[in-house]
Structure 1
Amino acid sequence: MCSIGEMARDSGLSVSALRFYDRGGVLIPAWVDPVSGYRWYGSAQLEEAQLLARLRRAGMPLVDIRLVLAGWSSADTDLVQKLLQAHLHRLELGLSDARSEFSTLRALLERRENPMTSLRTAAVRLAVSGPELAAALDTVRFAASTDPELPMLGGVLFDIEGDGLHVVATDRYRMAVARTGITGYGGIRLQVIVPVPLADAMRALLSGKEPVQFAVDGDRVTLETGDRQTAGQCLDHDFPDYRRLVRLPAGRRALVDVSAFQEAVKTGPVRASEARKPDGVSFDLSVLRVTADGTVTICEDGDNDENDVAVNREFLLQSLAAGARDQLILEFGAPTAPLAIRRRDTEDTFSMLMPVRLEN
C-alpha cells in the first residue's frame, strides 16, 4: 500500500486530483482509514494512475477515461484501442477546425491592415500535376448541381490551402471530394468556385503528363498547360462548408470489388422512391445491407431491416465509376447518415450519398 502523497508523486497526479477522481468514481483507493479518512492505494493502482494522468493530459473526457480504465484492467485491448482512436480522431478534427479558423483570422487581420485589399485582389499562381488534377476533376464532376435555383452549387469548388488543393462538387443529394498536391503557394486559404462549363474546359486541356499552372486574379481563373490556356470568371457565391458535412462518425466498413458490385447493383432489385428529383422525376433505389461477414447485399422489396441504407441507384453507380479503383470501401453509419464511398489508399478522396427514407 502507498499513501496518497506517494501515489501523487509517482503518478504525476496532484493530491487534489486524486481526491477528485476518488469522488468521481474514476480511481478509487484500495482502502480508506475510517477514522482519519486518509486514502491508501494498492501498488497495482499505480499503473492505472499513470495511465489516467496521460489520458487527462491528452484531453480525454472522464466518461471515456472510465471505459479505458475498465478495458485496461480487464485486458480488453480492442476496447482500449477503439477509445484511443476515437479520441485521436476528435483531436484531429479539432485541430482542422482550429487551422481553418486561424486561417480566416489571418485573412481578416490582413484585410484590417490593408483595407483596400480583398481576399481575391492579389494574383495567386500555383503549379499542379496535370494527371492528378484531371483525376480529381473526374472524381467530383458527377456530383455537380444542375439546379438553376442553386447557382452556388453550379460549379466545382477549388479550395487552396497550404500544399494542397481540394476540389469539391455537390448537389445536396451527393458530394464528392478529391485532393491533389500543389507547389508554389504558401498564402492564406483561398476558395473559388469554377463554373461547370469552365471546369469541363479545364479538364479537356489535361491530356498530357506535364504540370499545369492554375491562377486566380480577382474574379478570374486561368489554367495553362504548354501553349494552351482556358480562362473565365469564377462564380460570385459562397460554397457550403463541406468540411463540416464530411465529419461522419466511424461506421461499418465493407470492402467491395467494384466490377462485381456494379453488376449486382445494375441487375439487383430496386424500389421506387416516393421522393423525386428536382425535375419532378421519380428514381430507383438500391437498398443496401452489410451482412455479418462484411458482404454488401442488395435487398429485395419487403425485406426490411432497420440498418438498411437506401440510396439513389443511378447516383451509386456514378459514384462507383468515379472512384476509379478496382476495390472501394463502403462506409455505413446510421440509416439516416450518408453512405461514404472511399478509396483504400487515401482518406482525402471520397464521395457521399444522402440516404432516402424508406416508407413502411
Structure 2
Amino acid sequence: MPNFELMPIGIFAQRTGLTSSALRFYADSGLLPPAEVDPVTGYRYYGTDQVEPATVLRRLREIAMPLAGVEAVPGSTPREALRLLDEHVSDVVADAAAAQRKAAVIRSTLSNEPGLPIVALRGPVLADAVEQTLTASAYDTATPVLGGLRVETSHEAVALTATDRYRLSTRTLMPAEPPEQSWAGTVAGDELRIAVAEIRRSALVRLEAVPHGIWLRVEDGEDRYCRLLPDAYPDHRLVLASLGAVSTRATVSKESLLRALQDHPGRRTALHIADRTVGVAGADGDQLSTPLPATVTGPALRIWFELTTLYPAVSTAIGPDVMLDLRGHDQPVTIRSADRGDLTTLAMPIKPPAKPDGSA
C-alpha cells in the first residue's frame, strides 16, 4: 500500500474515535489488524479504507455489543448485520427491564414497610381485563404515565383505565371479596404484561400496595411486583363526564366489522352509519365495503378514524356484537359490547381527508 494512504496509529485514533490502546487490543485479537507494521520500529499504520469499519466497530462497542457479535457483523450480509444488531438491542432492553424490576423488588424489601391490602380479584378475569385495557396505552418517553394502567378501587368495584390520548379504555371488575379500602395508583403497563401469565394461572389474586409499587399475591405461584408510576394521570374522569349526548347508535357484528376494516388498507378509514347498515370507506372515502347489517337509531353519519385507533378499539370489545355510540363527526365514539357494559372504549375521530378539489 502506498505510504500516502497510510496513517500512524495516533492519527487513525483521532479519525475513528478509538483510543490507541483499543486499536492495539483489536489488532492483537485479529478484529482490526493494521494495514502495515514497520518491521524495525514496530509502529502500526492504518489505511484510509479502514476508517469506516473502525468507526462501525466503535459504535457497536458503544452499545455494549460483545466481541463475538462485533466480529460477526463485518462478514455478514446487510440483512444479517441488521438482525444481529436488533437481537443485541433486544437483549440489552430485556436485561435493563429485568434489572429495573429486580431493583424495584429490592427497594420494596429495603423499605421494610408492611404492604397495604387493597382488593382480591379472580385471576383469569383480571388477566383478561389487563390485556384489554392496556391496548389503549402508549409507550411515550416524554409522558411515561401513558404506558401505565390506572387502578382505582372503591367499596363497590375496581376500575382499570388506560389511554394514549386517542383512545381511552376502561373496564370495571367486581371484586372476589369486599375491598379493604379505596385506593388509586398508576401501575407500570410493561410489568403488568409480564405478570399476566402468572395472574391467569391463579384462581385468586390479592393486590397489596407498598410505597413505590404493588404486589400481586397469587395462589400456588410466584408473587409479582409492579412499579407505580409517580406522574399525574390524565383526568379521564373529566373526559367521561364531558361526553355529549349520543345522537346515533349502531349495533353491528364485531367479526364482520373487523373483516371490513381489514379489507381497506391505508392509515385512515371512515365509518358510514346509515339506515340499518354500517359501511367502511376506503382511503379515498368514496368506495364503501358491502354494507353490514346493523341496528341503527338516529341520523346517518360518516366519521373518520386512524385505523390504528379504531381497529384495536373494536377488536377488544367483549362479545359477538359491538355497540357504537356516536355524537357527531368530530366527537369521540363509544365502543362497547352490545350486551355488557364492563369494558368501554372511547375512540377519537380525525378530520376528513381533503379531496383532490380541496373539499372535505
Normalising to structure 1: TM-score of the pair? 0.58
Query: Structure 2 CA distance, aligned partners of 1:209 and 1:257?
Result: 33
Larger Rg: 2
Query: Structure 2 CA distance, aligned partners of 1:213 and 1:299?
Result: 46
Query: Structure 2 CA distance, aligned partners of 1:337 and 1:171?
Result: 16
Question: CA offset at residue 257 of structure 1?
Answer: 0.8
Which residue matches 1:51? none
Question: CA offset at residue 338 of structure 1?
Answer: 0.8
CA distance 1:290–1:306, change in 2 (3 Å): closer
The yes-or-no answer on 1:218 pairing with 2:211 is yes
Question: CA offset at residue 256 of structure 1?
Answer: 1.2
Structure 1 runs of 4+ with >6 Å offset: none
Which residue matches 2:201? 208
CA distance 1:302–1:168, change in 2 (3 Å): closer
Which residue matches 1:229? 223
8 Å CA contact 2:215–2:226 kept in 1: the answer is yes
Match of 2:232 among 230, 238, 256: 238
8 Å CA contact 2:217–2:224 kept in 1: the answer is yes
Kindly tell me the number of residue pairs found equivalent between the two proteins.
226
Query: Structure 2 CA distance, aligned partners of 1:202 and 1:316?
Result: 27
The correspondence of residues 308-347 of structure 1 with structure 2, limited to 5 A, is 308-347=302-341
Which residue matches 1:78? none
Which letter maps to 1:137? V
The yes-or-no answer on 1:185 pairing with 2:179 is yes
Which letter maps to 2:308? E
Which residue matches 2:255? 259
Which residue matches 1:250? 246
SS of structure 2 residue aligned to 1:315: helix
Which letter maps to 2:280? I
8 Å CA contact 1:269–1:299 kept in 2: the answer is no
CA distance 1:253–1:121, change in 2 (3 Å): farther
Query: Structure 1 CA distance, aligned partners of 2:139 and 2:224?
Result: 22
8 Å CA contact 2:274–2:300 kept in 1: the answer is no
8 Å CA contact 1:121–1:218 kept in 2: the answer is no
Which letter maps to 1:290? I
SS of structure 2 residue aligned to 1:246: helix
Query: Structure 2 CA distance, aligned partners of 1:194 and 1:269?
Result: 35
Which letter maps to 1:181? M
Question: CA offset at residue 246 of structure 1?
Answer: 2.0
> Where do 5+ consecutive residues of structure 2 fail to align?
1-112, 288-298, 355-359
8 Å CA contact 1:124–1:217 kept in 2: the answer is no
Which residue matches 1:133? 126
Which residue matches 1:96? none
The yes-or-no answer on 1:168 pairing with 2:161 is yes
Normalising to structure 2: TM-score of the pair? 0.58
Matched-pair identity in %: 21
Query: Structure 1 CA distance, aligned partners of 2:205 and 2:199?
Result: 8
Query: Structure 2 CA distance, aligned partners of 1:195 and 1:287?
Result: 33
Which residue matches 1:299? 281
SS of structure 1 residue aligned to 2:135: helix
Query: Structure 1 CA distance, aligned partners of 2:227 and 2:310?
Result: 32
Question: CA offset at residue 121 of structure 1?
Answer: 9.2
Query: Structure 2 CA distance, aligned partners of 1:230 and 1:206?
Result: 9
CA distance 1:222–1:334, change in 2 (3 Å): same
What CA RMSD, in Å, does the superposition of the two structures yield over aligned residues? Answer: 2.4
SS of structure 1 residue aligned to 2:223: strand
Question: CA offset at residue 199 of structure 1?
Answer: 1.2
Q: Deviations over 1:216-275 (max 9, x none)?
A: 1222201021132110320111112212212322231111111111111111365xxxxx
Question: CA offset at residue 186 of structure 1?
Answer: 4.5
